[in-house]
């Protein structure tokens, strides 16, 4: 089975990933995305992932600049070292997610849930976190310079 990743801006297909035909429908995007991230040739910049169920996804060192994750469920996902700069992350659920050393420079993460998320050493400059939830988040060494920190 083929899974298509489309541009958030134009809707054109950016990348096609083969996945197992037996993959549960709810997990198809997550499975395809994990495989695409492992394939270093996958260009996933500005990809449309809004509203997707990506809970528990392993996306270490993913190159997702300009990604749209509006309203996505990213509970427990691993974005360690990932590049999400200039991403549209508002209303997303990052509860318990790993974002250690991730780059969220200029991201729009308004009203997102970072409860118990690990953002140690994350690069958060110029990002917008207005209305974000931070209960129990690990923020040691996170760089919030010029960022709207919301309720931190």
Count of C-beta atoms within a 10 Å radius of residue 19: 19
Residue percentage of the chain with pLDDT more than 70? 99
Give me the number of domains the chain comprises.
Answer: 2
| Reported confidence tier of residue 74, pLDDT bands at 50, 70, 90 | very high
User: Of the candidates 73, 78, 29, 69, which has an alpha carbon nearest to the alpha carbon of residue 55?
Assistant: 73
The reply to whether 151 and 79 lie within a common domain is yes
The reply to whether 87 and 133 lie within a common domain is yes
Count of C-beta atoms within a 10 Å radius of residue 151: 10
| Reported confidence tier of residue 42, pLDDT bands at 50, 70, 90 | confident
User: Of the candidates 23, 29, 84, 89, which has an alpha carbon nearest to the alpha carbon of residue 55?
Assistant: 29
| Reported confidence tier of residue 152, pLDDT bands at 50, 70, 90 | low
Whether pTM > 0.85 for this model: the answer is: yes
Task: Check whether 41 has a pLDDT greater than 80.
Answer: no
The reported pLDDT for the residue numbered 39 is 85
The reply to whether 32 and 90 lie within a common domain is no
Distance CA 28, CA 41 (A): 20
- CATH number at 141 reads 2.160.20.80
Total H helices, total E strands in the chain: 1, 2
Task: Check whether 150 has a pLDDT greater than 90.
Answer: no
Domain of residue 138: give its range: 45-152
The reply to whether 20 and 50 lie within a common domain is no
């Amino acid at each position: 089975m083929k899974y298509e990743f489309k541009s958030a801006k134009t809707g054109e297909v950016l990348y096609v990933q083969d996945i197992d035909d037996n993959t549960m429908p709810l997990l198809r995007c997550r499975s395809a995305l994990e495989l695409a991230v492992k394939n270093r040739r996958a260009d996933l910049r500005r990809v449309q992932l809004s509203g997707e169920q990506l809970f528990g996804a392993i996306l270490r060192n993913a190159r997702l600049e300009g990604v749209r994750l509006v309203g996505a469920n990213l509970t427990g996902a691993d974005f360690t070292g990932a590049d999400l700069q200039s991403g549209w992350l508002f209303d997303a659920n990052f509860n318990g997610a790993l974002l250690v050393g991730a780059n969220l420079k200029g991201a729009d993460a308004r009203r997102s849930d970072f409860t118990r998320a690990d953002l140690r050493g994350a690069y958060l400059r110029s990002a917008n976190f207005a209305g974000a939830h931070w209960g129990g988040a690990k923020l040691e060494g996170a760089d919030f310079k010029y960022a709207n920190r919301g309720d931190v």
